[in-house]
Amino acid sequence: MDLEMYIRSFICSLMSGISCSIFFGTLLNRKRQGEKTVIPAWASKCLPSLVFSAGFLLIAVLEAPGYLIQPLRVILLLWVVIWMFYQAKPGKILFLAAFWCAIFWTLNLLAVSVVYALSGQPQETGGLSDWICSILILCLSLFFRWKCKGWMDYLEGEGLGRFVWFPAVSLMVTTLMSITVWYTDSLNRIGVVMAAAGYSVIIVLVFYFTVKLVEKETKLQRAQFIQARLKNQRELVENILASDRSYRRRLHDYRNQLGCLQGLLNEGRNEEAFAYIEELCGSIQEIKDHVNTNHALVNTILNQKYLRAQEKGITLVMAVNDLSGLSMHKEDIVSLLVNLLDNAIEACEKLDENKLIQFKLMLEEGMLTVSVRNPVKEPVRIEGKRIKTTKKEKSQHGFGMLNINTVVEKNGGTSILKCQDGWFYFSAVIPDGEPA
């Protein structure tokens, strides 16, 4: 390779690397750096782009032993770099790598076809098709980030499987068409461009309608998410009002009982008065709060859930500390605690024995730790950060963990969940004091 080709390969590789960083950064969350890292924040943000670019440059300067190997090398490069920097399962990484490669190869086919129509020999274009392809993929990635940020969060499990065919079929068709254009000199130039352009339009339309479908599902899930949060808050308000009415009734009764007590004392019936006082103290002891965290909202939620668990024969063991300094938004507190405890209570309701919930809520050194552990009747299917619902009314359920994950991610926290040896376990650590 001469100097001009090295410069072209370097610039095109850099553009492709930036495109990859934009594309995959739109869809996936970055892995967290260790606390002892010496890499500055700005350098950390640029690192994926540089690694992607270095990989593309290596592919450009090393000839592949056949045209069919090119997509495989690109997919392998993408898989490795995504695995290094982003949070995703291997299967999801492979799908996204093939997806990007399919789009890239389609644009490359279009660029080669245009250059072929202009020159008649794609092998002698001086890399013009590389420039066109690199510019197109960068523009498409920027457009994708503008329109589609976050949509991949809703393509999990079965949802992702609906689109597996797209990158596989696209790569096969694009590779065959590219080989035909690249190694055949007797093709009709206008026909080649029209075929490539038509195929590219089809791929873009499929891509567009895929995104629109996901956007529609996203809006539906967000609406259901809001509905679920409103339901939680409405139930909490109703519980608070019910408790308030109960306290008012008891206060009214106590006034009458104090009148009776005064009458006993006036009549000199001291022993009966003392016995009556003990009875009143016992009833007051029964209705006192079981949990006190020095945070009114948290107290209300935990005490209501404690009473609900008690009514259903479930033992709820709670470890808490002073939460008076908790600054998390009230709606996030409600969504997090209500969904966690409701899920655990619902799971324990299905059991015949060992109905136990272990709950922890601690605020220490600006970090909120929350965890729930409870037995389950059947193993829970976990996909990423989601629980695969087994209920028939799938559209009505499954939003509890979605609400929980939303609160954790919104506040910059991390969480883990697992099901092992008949026990379900959830734990999250959330920074407090910097709400999103």
What are 208-256's pLDDT values in tens digits?
677 677 667 767 766 776 676 667 666 666 666 666 566 666 666 666 7
Find all residues with CB under 8 Å of 287, minimum gap 6, and list them. Answer: 246, 247, 250
List beta partners, residue 375. 423
Q: Do the domain assignments include residue 398?
A: yes
- Indicate which CATH number applies to the domain containing 307: 3.30.565.10
Residue ending a domain, choose from 215, 246, 273 = 215
- 206 plus 313 within the same structural domain: no
CA distance readout (Å), 404 to 77, 368, 426? 34, 14, 10
- 184 plus 301 within the same structural domain: no
Cα separation of the two ends of the chain: 51
- 194 plus 56 within the same structural domain: yes
Cα angle 365, 368, 371; round to 5:
135
- What does the alpha-carbon distance between residue 370 and residue 425 come to, in Å, rounded to a whole number? 11
- 35 plus 168 within the same structural domain: yes
- What does the alpha-carbon distance between residue 403 and residue 50 come to, in Å, rounded to a whole number? 36
Q: Is 40 left (phi over 0), alpha (psi -120 to 50) or beta?
A: beta
Q: What single-letter amino acid sits at 87?
A: Q
Q: Do the domain assignments include residue 324?
A: yes
Structural domains of the chain, count? 2
- Structure pTM? 0.52
Residue ending a domain, choose from 191, 215, 239 = 215
List beta partners, residue 418. 425
Nearest to 328 by CA among 295, 358, 294, 292: 295
Which helix (H) or strand (E) segment holds residue 425: the answer is strand 423-431
Contact at 8 Å (CB) between 290 and 303? Answer: yes
- What does the alpha-carbon distance between residue 93 and residue 84 come to, in Å, rounded to a whole number? 11
Q: Do the domain assignments include residue 237?
A: no
pLDDT tens for the chain, residues 1 to 436 = 567 777 888 888 899 999 999 888 887 878 766 544 455 666 677 888 899 999 888 888 776 655 567 778 888 889 999 988 888 778 778 888 888 888 888 787 777 777 766 665 555 555 777 788 888 888 888 887 877 665 555 555 445 556 667 777 777 777 777 666 655 555 566 666 677 777 777 777 776 677 677 667 767 766 776 676 667 666 666 666 666 566 666 666 666 767 777 777 787 777 777 777 777 665 554 445 578 898 888 888 888 888 889 889 999 999 999 998 898 888 888 888 888 998 899 889 988 888 999 999 999 988 999 999 999 888 877 766 666 655 544 433 456 777 888 889 888 899 988 888 889 999 999 998 654 4
Q: Do the domain assignments include residue 58?
A: yes
Residue 28 per-residue DSSP state: S
- What does the alpha-carbon distance between residue 10 and residue 16 come to, in Å, rounded to a whole number? 10
- 323 plus 200 within the same structural domain: no
- 76 plus 177 within the same structural domain: yes
- 39 plus 152 within the same structural domain: yes
Q: Do the domain assignments include residue 252?
A: no
Q: Do the domain assignments include residue 229?
A: no
What pLDDT does 428 receive? 93
- 201 plus 312 within the same structural domain: no
Q: Do the domain assignments include residue 225?
A: no
What pLDDT does 182 receive? 59
Q: What single-letter amino acid sits at 403?
A: N
Residue ending a domain, choose from 162, 193, 215 = 215
- 187 plus 296 within the same structural domain: no
Q: Do the domain assignments include residue 234?
A: no
CA 333 to chain centre: 18
- 322 plus 204 within the same structural domain: no
What pLDDT does 102 receive? 81
- 38 plus 159 within the same structural domain: yes
- 89 plus 197 within the same structural domain: yes
What pLDDT does 90 receive? 83
Domain span holding position 295? 290-436
